[in-house]
Amino acid sequence: MVVDDVESNLYVAKGVMMPYKLKVETALNGTEAIAKIKKGKKYDIIFMDHMMPEMDGVEATKVLRSLGYKDPIIALTANTLFGAREMFLKNGFTDFASKPVDINQIEKFLYKYIRDKHKGKETVTATST
């Protein structure tokens, strides 16, 4: 799932993941993401925008973790200042990726948290067009 309040960011993120033939769901804010999890939705990975109205990514991640959600949550953020990674990790994120979305960063997370998790099953690979 990709959580971001800017529709164009959701479009770009889905486009970056399209070559991997993944089913990508989206949410426009933390509240919507939490509602999907509470309804029983399962995701191999969540890419969560850091700054959103209504409920930001940090607050949403804390709520998800308090509900027992254990799968990876990757912060998507323009905040790449020194110490940002530690702040995200301290608040329940698994890791973080800087904006604008970089295909190499996303690929690293997809391999680490999806492909490697499902070794021996059908794996996630990019296809050339």
Q: Which CATH number belongs to the domain containing residue 14 in this structure?
A: 3.40.50.2300
Who wins on pLDDT, 102 or 64?
A: 64
Burial (CB count within 10 angstroms: exposed 0-12, middle 13-18, buried 19+), residue 57: buried
In a domain, 126, yes or no: no
Domain range enclosing 36: 2-103+113-118
Q: What is the number of domains present in the chain?
A: 1
Distance CA 78, CA 55 (A): 17
- Tens of pLDDT, residue by residue over 65-79, are 999 999 999 999 886
Supply the pTM of this predicted model: 0.85
